Chain A
Amino acid sequence: MEVLTNLINGMSLGSVYAIIALGYTMVYGIAKMLNFAHGDVIMVGAYICFCSVSYLGLPAFAGVALSVVGCTLLGIIVERLAYKPLRNAPSLNVLITAIGVSYFLQNAALIIMGSDPKSFSSIISLPALSLFDGKLTISATAVLTIFACVVIMVALTMFTGKTKMGKAMRACSEDRDAAQLMGINVNSTISMVFAIGSGLAAIAGVLMCLAYPTLMPTTGSMPGIKAFTAAVLGGIGSIPGAALGGVLLGIIEIFARAYISTQLADAVVFGVLIVILLIRPAGLLGKPVNEKV
């Protein structure tokens, strides 16, 4: 039963990575940039939820809603101010800017919220569920997280596959000039993708803090890097790839912690990434890169 518990916890952690990785991968797909500030949006989302509930006394669901709205706006503003002016700049410039945004968000949080950790469990905590006469205990948080990930995946798949805006997004990701010739407004489409990715990051932030309830200005960094790893593992630019990469990474991490060593877990995770990229350089579900002439 311990294996099963670990598996569920792994899937739950992986679901958080997957939701974050979706933002990475969609933004990469359309803007061809690695948004290294994406992880910090998670942290901002968690703080917004924390503040709404503990200082404003709002119910938890309202806190989550505010956090999604806040991060969506944050995503749009960051893109508009920091990345849009660099639309035709070399990718190194954009990367450095993204790292700058990351530091900016962390330090802004440090100034506003202070460096002392906030305990998320003081505002929201879900019970543990006991199954099979107590032989299997799983947390409601884990179930909720996995469920949220599935709902988000289904919704995104329908959005990109069936809606006009979703198809426009795919068109822009493939060929920005051609998309413009179709009459698609590329700037607003990119803005929309940042909005979706950041809104999802807010949800990931809340879900993650339910499972790992210590909230600090640096809370988003490590999950951000892991989710980036997950996006690369699945094949950067691929939405199903991000989900697969995220879940796999979460499971590997939890099992490595349980059966190998807590300290070595992260090393194992990144080791797996390296091995898989050696075998499949484009990631599990990625398309081999063919440079456009």
Chain B
Amino acid sequence: MLSVYNINVWYGAIQAIKGVSFEVNDGEIVALIGANGAGKSTTLKTLSGLLRSRTGSITFMDQDLMHMPAEKIVEHGLVHVPEGRRIFQQMTVEENLDMGAYTQAKDTIADNLERVYAQFPRLKERRRQIAGTLSGGEQQMLAMGRGLMANPKLLMLDEPSMGLAPILVEQIFEIIEALHKAGTTILLVEQNAQMALSIATRGYVLETGRVTLTGTGQELLRNDDVRKAYLGG
């Protein structure tokens, strides 16, 4: 479904991604794990068109994404829920969801809204509330709901559990599994490697801009290097 081959991404003179290649197949949850600063967010931003790779190729469902503008990439169903939620703080919950469906036709929007409200009843209760006044967990739900409004074929989640209380982290991971069961393919970026790998079909370990390890979720969970570096022994 998604195939990334040999991408190299720079911030000015600093190279953040060094020849990364990986794949996501239809129906998988693929986890991208790595320490802070490893290049996980940069990778996702490159896939969604906010940043550009100087080399290699990015192909999503037979479409070449290397030169496609970000707003077109969303239309093709590759949807990025960014790190730190990045909801529109001054807009209402429902306006945020509307923005998520910016590329969608009018009648799809109503259906999607119903689906998202069914998935996140909390958002429905707070639909008229200004998004900036939501709690952290609610903001994460809004960010994910907003992503779902775009009818993603592949949903990219960047650290959805960041800064949340353990009980909320559980809840977010349950939602990710539910979305996956409902047919959405997921590329999950997490620092919480334990949780991410335990629900992942496959995973990749990123270290200072390079993929250093890959395997199924279970294999990586059992791997000694992974255990030492990311699972606290």
Contact = CB atoms under 8 A, between A and B. Distances in A.
Interface of A: 164, 167-168, 170-171, 174-175, 177-186, 287
Given A167-B99, A184-B99, A184-B102, A175 B88 contact: yes
A77 B83 CA distance: 36
Contact of B150 (A164, A168, A175, A183): A183
Interface in B78-119: 79-80, 82, 86-91, 95, 98-100, 102-103
A179 B99 contact: yes
Interface stretch (B3-11, B67-75, B184-192, B209-217): B67-75
B61 interface: no
Contacts of A183: 71-72, 74-75, 102-103, 150
**6 A-B pairs closest in CB distance:** A183-B103, A183-B74, A178-B86, A180-B70, A183-B102, A182-B102
Contacts of A185: 69, 71
Contact of A184 (B71, B89, B90): B71
A177 B88 contact: no
A167 B98 CA distance: 9
B229 interface: no
A174 B50 contact: no
Nearest to A161: B95
Interface residues of B, number: 26
Given A180-B70, A184-B71, A171 B99 contact: yes
B102 A164 contact: yes
B48 interface: yes
A171 B98 CA distance: 11
B91 A181 contact: no
Contacts of A170: 88, 90-91
A174 B103 contact: no
A182 B99 contact: yes
Contacts of B70: 180-181
Given A168-B99, A181-B48, A183-B103, 6 more contacts: A171-B88, A174-B88, A174-B89, A174-B91, A182-B99, A182-B150
State the majority secondary structure of interface residues on A: helix
Contacts of A177: 50, 82, 86
A180 B50 contact: yes
A168 B102 contact: yes
A23 to B, nearest CB: 20
A178, A180, A184, A287: residue with the most chain B Cβ atoms closer than 10 Å: A178
B49 interface: yes
A171 B82 CA distance: 15
Nearest to B98: A167
Contacts of A168: 99, 102
B88 A181 contact: no
Interface in B116-161: 146, 150
Contacts of B79: 181
Nearest to A293: B84
A15 to B, nearest CB: 26
A174 B132 CA distance: 12
Contacts of B71: 180, 183-186
A175 B86 contact: yes
A180 B79 CA distance: 11
B75 A178 contact: no
